[in-house]
Structure 1
Amino acid sequence: MASKIASRIVEAAKAHSKTVEKYIGYGTAGFRTKADLLDHVMFRVGIVSALRSKMVKASIGVMITASHNPEEDNGVKLVDPHGEMLEPAWEVLATEIANLPDEKLSERIVSLIETSKIDLSTRSSVIVGRDTRQSSPALCQAVIDGIKAVEEDSEIANFGIVSTPILHYLVVCTNGGGTYGEPTVDGYVSKLVNAFRTLIGDDNKRGKYEPSLIIDGANGVGAVISEKLLKGLENTLNVNLINLGPPGILNYDCGADYVKVQQREPLNVTSNCGTRCASLDGDADRLIYLYFDDAGKFHMLDGDKIALLLAEHFNDLLKKSQLNLKLGMVQTAYANGSSTNYATKVLNVPVTCTPTGVKFLHHAAQEFDIGVYFEANGHGTTVFSDNAIKTIQDAASTGSNAAAKELAGFLNVINSTVGDAISDLLAVEAILHSKGWHIQDWDEMYQDLPNRLFKVSVADRNLVTTTDAERRVVTPEGLQERIDNIASKFKDGRSFVRPSGTEDVVRVYAEADTQENADKLGKEVAAAVGELCSGNN
């Protein structure tokens, strides 16, 4: 049977020949580069996904997206049976297979089948989704061609345009027999709508909370899904949905990454908008809030602020419900120093630091009964252990434990399978409603240290290696000493650098007591990176 698969792959690969020399690696978010370089990669990802499905005897997800990247880029990542990122060993396999010459592809696939003892009699099942990029339909077909090259009658569920979080949700629901929810887009929407309405109750106004907000859809799939969601939330949330398209301007001057990096409002939001705004990114897995105060000053609430809002509220509900569950937070080096101090010193909530990439944060969050994890860029969620779910549900069923009932409501509002901008947005709105808070009350929980992000173009990002959860540089020699010396010149100065997982750039983070000092610190560190890595800023 393996020989038949090899023959089919040889034939099918003729339409998806590897014509580019560029090495394309499976980074923190899968394969990602210019869309016109990806056809052969997508075909081979289809092959890998079908074989992975056969091996684990479950449905595997394939999401075609480049998230917050520009329209001309694209990418793809695989999702394992429980909605988690692809097993690391298979990331290595996928990278090897994606970069093989055409003439070696079928031989390597046969070898993989034999060494991994893959049962070819098991029918493969792959769930496919894509974002709104113009390149996505053709790349999606390449994936499907790869799946069919392994098995002509593979079970392929092509959901078309969906958000990345929905793809993860669909995989979990399919493999879980529907226990997590109905494995359809409508099932996803209904679950969130019903859970949010339950949490809000009949009174959608409370204290200083007003159910009016702007949602920036980044001209991407988030806008498409938000429109579906809002139909079910009429008379509960009053939303002005902006940046809805058309295709071709995805993430341009809008979206979560734009707001975070530029530290300014997205297109079509002005200082006199009079309400809070929530910006999604291109595939709706990142969320950033923003608002203007009475003086017209811009304020941004990023992943750190969202994480602390959730952690503070869950901490409060655990105390009120008297449930003995361990709550913890997971952050990366990008987390603002003030957020870490607030968590550990004010809330007394333990904080774990991991390398960048939600696969690392998600794994670390599973060490807690309730693990809140967010990257500063707005990508994150809350993970509940089986013990936490049972404990909360049992306490909520008694009828007299109001705090436990509220916690139980969040079990359904939050998409624990992966960071989900729309799910996180509803969780934030539910908490603000519960507390009766204006967005400014949330913002004033703690004061962020001013910070800035820079990118330095380099010939080879692999020149930079790091340790201590990416907070310290190992190579090139001398760079960490330069960073330490520069940071020491600024009050509350902190800076680190790390290579991008998707492009030949080195990312520089800097924070200090003032925005001017954060900018100066970041520019000096960026110059040092450029000098020692032969880059240009």
Structure 2
Amino acid sequence: MADPVAEAMSRHPTPEGLVYQYGTAGFRTKSEVLDSVMARCGLIAALRSRALKGKWVGVMITASHNPPEDNGVKIVEPMGNMLQEEWEILATAISNKQTPEEVSQYYQEIAEKYRIDLSSPARAVVARDTRASGARLLAAFLDGLTKGAGAEVKDYGFLTTPQLHYMVRCLNTEGTPDAYGTPTEKGYYEKFGAAFKNALRGKKPSGSLTVDCANGVGGPKLAELIKHLPPKEEALEIFVVNDNVIKPESLNVECGADFVKTNQRAPPSSKAGPGDRCCSLDGDADRVVYYFKDSNNMFHLLDGDRIATLVASFLGDLVRQSGLADKVTIGVVQTAYANGAATEYVEKTLKLKVDCTPTGVKYLHHAAEKLDVGVYFEANGHGTVIFSPDTLDTIAKYEPRSPGQKDALDVLRAVIDLINQAVGDALSDFLLVEVVLAHKSWGAQEWLSTYTDLPNRLLKVIVADRKIFQTTDAERKLVKPDGLQKSIDAEVQKVRQGRSFARASGTEDAVRVYAEAATRGEADDLARKVAELVKAAGSA
């Protein structure tokens, strides 16, 4: 009898000499070498669904902020969270099997190990961003999923990554007391549109907001979402720029969150005037950073650290005002990339607990899940707020004792609905920021003045083998190569308020060097010196 798995795999042979790795963002590389990986991810998605008694798992075909010629794939757990680490290892292993027969054998081995009944139902949800290679890679994935593994599929076409996570969570909670929403695009827009209106409670953000969509899938999706928001006269006027999805080769080119964060300047296409609030999404709309130019035409970035501190301070106010302060605690989760001034502001001014984790949303998300209310944003603008089930229950059942408590509680409940708790979602995140600014009666300048960032510089050093750079202490210290950390520490000692670390990139053969110090010159100098040390160690 023919082996459907081997047969499906034979149509997508493995390129020779390549080693694939399921990294922090799934598999991600040049799109032309991903067909075999996509077919195998179809098998893994089916196995994962069967291991979870036929629950829907998600698959997103995207390379986020990477250049247009790249693509990637990541698998999503039933509640919209990241794939379990144990299964990342299985996905990596199956993607590096050489022959169709080896893949089929490994597929059977996984089934035996996890006692998976291969004849039981398996279900997967799939969506993709607007890259030109998406249709071809989707076909390879479906080949593995349906023809190879005999699973059922629901294809949502083009979605932002957070919309895909939302669909997965909705499908798996449908008909339960924890139903997250309606698993359709319209359901997504209606849920977040209504929550935005309820959270504003008649307050209006000052001025307008210009949203740069990185010429990615966020453009058309934001245009749809705007139709479900209150009219601009009542709430917020939004100008959409860089929404050209007709030319996939323009994706992330001189625009988008990564461009703004890395270059510390507005996209060249920006026409925003002094004081105008702007934000940029990335290619799959799961990151957002804010920025503006002041009256002297000076650029100011309001990145993920700023969003985290703004949101944490607002949630702290709401919890106190609604009378829940002794029942609910709020914590902020950061990575080593968080600006030292932001950490100090959270601990000393907001008086909230700060946890530090390795870089990568899965680590932040995991740490935030352990808190009553966990606020996490990477400096790159990727993040969300997670409320524990007990905390949601406490807030839902709490009886306010005064009109003031009731008002605060109503806003808090609407804000919970406005936050996409499945994953960081640029569209819901920027609506949340606008709600906070409206309630505080702040513009971008007032937000900026809450604390002063220490000048910092982020550099990328291309290396032959990133795996030789190994870290500890939430990636803040290198343990390998030997002696490198000692040399970095010696450079840090030479500058005021100095801090620097180097870590291997999760997505490319490079080491990222971060440095901060009391002045711009010292920060730049420190980053350059540490980059030179890394380069020397990488070529030794």
The one of 419, 423, 439 aligned to 1:434: 439
- Matched residues in 2 for 1:201 and 1:321: separation? 15
User: What secondary structure sits across from 1:319 in the alignment?
Assistant: helix
- Matched residues in 2 for 1:405 and 1:395: separation? 11
- Matched residues in 2 for 1:232 and 1:483: separation? 51
The one of 46, 52, 70 aligned to 1:50: 46
Give the deviation of 1:527 after TM superposition.
0.5
Q: Is the 8 A contact 1:71 1:249 kept in 2?
A: yes
Q: Is the 8 A contact 1:330 1:351 kept in 2?
A: yes
Q: Which residue does the alignment assign to 2:13?
A: 17
Q: Which residue does the alignment assign to 1:145?
A: 143
Counterpart code for 2:211 = I
Provide structure 2 residue ranges, at least 5 long, that are not aligned to the other structure.
none
Q: How many residues align?
A: 526
Q: Does residue 1:447 correspond to 2:446, yes or no?
A: no
Q: Is the 8 A contact 1:51 1:150 kept in 2?
A: no
Q: Does residue 1:367 correspond to 2:370, yes or no?
A: yes
Give the deviation of 1:82 after TM superposition.
1.1
- Matched residues in 1 for 2:187 and 2:202: separation? 23
Give the deviation of 1:20 after TM superposition.
3.2
Q: Is the 8 A contact 1:164 1:285 kept in 2?
A: yes
What are the superposed Cα offsets for residues 85-106 of structure 1, whole Å, 9 maximum, x if unpaired?
1111100000000011114111
Q: Does residue 1:388 correspond to 2:402, yes or no?
A: no
Q: Does residue 1:337 correspond to 2:340, yes or no?
A: yes
Cα RMSD, aligned residues only? 1.4
Q: Does residue 1:133 correspond to 2:131, yes or no?
A: yes
Q: Does residue 1:160 correspond to 2:157, yes or no?
A: yes
Give the deviation of 1:54 after TM superposition.
0.8
Counterpart code for 1:182 = T
What are the superposed Cα offsets for residues 121-153 of structure 1, whole Å, 9 maximum, x if unpaired?
32110000101110111101111111013444x
- Matched residues in 2 for 1:201 and 1:475: separation? 53
- Matched residues in 2 for 1:100 and 1:14: separation? 12
Give the deviation of 1:399 after TM superposition.
8.2
Q: Does residue 1:78 correspond to 2:97, yes or no?
A: no
- Matched residues in 2 for 1:489 and 1:363: separation? 36
Q: Which residue does the alignment assign to 1:264?
A: 265
- Matched residues in 2 for 1:394 and 1:266: separation? 46
What are the superposed Cα offsets for residues 475-502 of structure 1, whole Å, 9 maximum, x if unpaired?
0011101111111111111100100111
Give the deviation of 1:295 after TM superposition.
1.1
Give the deviation of 1:274 after TM superposition.
4.7
Q: Which residue does the alignment assign to 2:85?
A: 88
Task: Give 1:336-485 correspondences, 5 Å limit.
Answer: 336-395=339-398, 400=403, 401-485=406-490
Task: Give 1:171-250 correspondences, 5 Å limit.
Answer: 171-177=168-174, 179-205=179-205, 209-210=206-207, 212-233=208-229, 234-235=231-232, 236-245=235-244, 246-250=247-251
Give the deviation of 1:240 after TM superposition.
1.0
Q: Is the 8 A contact 1:304 1:336 kept in 2?
A: yes
TM normalised by structure 1 equals 0.96
- Matched residues in 1 for 2:399 and 2:187: separation? 24
User: What secondary structure sits across from 2:439 in the alignment?
Assistant: helix
- Matched residues in 1 for 2:250 and 2:520: separation? 30
Q: State percent identity of aligned pairs.
A: 48
Counterpart code for 2:314 = H
- Matched residues in 1 for 2:29 and 2:114: separation? 29
What are the superposed Cα offsets for residues 241-274 of structure 1, whole Å, 9 maximum, x if unpaired?
0001132111111100111111110132146365
User: What secondary structure sits across from 1:10 in the alignment?
Assistant: helix
Q: Is the 8 A contact 1:271 1:296 kept in 2?
A: no
Provide structure 1 residue ranges, at least 5 long, that are not aligned to the other structure.
none
Q: Is the 8 A contact 2:5 2:149 kept in 1?
A: no
Give the deviation of 1:398 after TM superposition.
7.6
- Matched residues in 1 for 2:157 and 2:165: separation? 14
What are the superposed Cα offsets for residues 255-300 of structure 1, whole Å, 9 maximum, x if unpaired?
0011111111013214636511010000001010000111111000
- Matched residues in 1 for 2:431 and 2:401: separation? 26
Deviates more, 1:114-123 or 1:60-69: 114-123
User: What secondary structure sits across from 1:32 in the alignment?
Assistant: strand
Give the deviation of 1:417 after TM superposition.
0.8
- Matched residues in 1 for 2:363 and 2:257: separation? 21
- Matched residues in 2 for 1:396 and 1:448: separation? 40
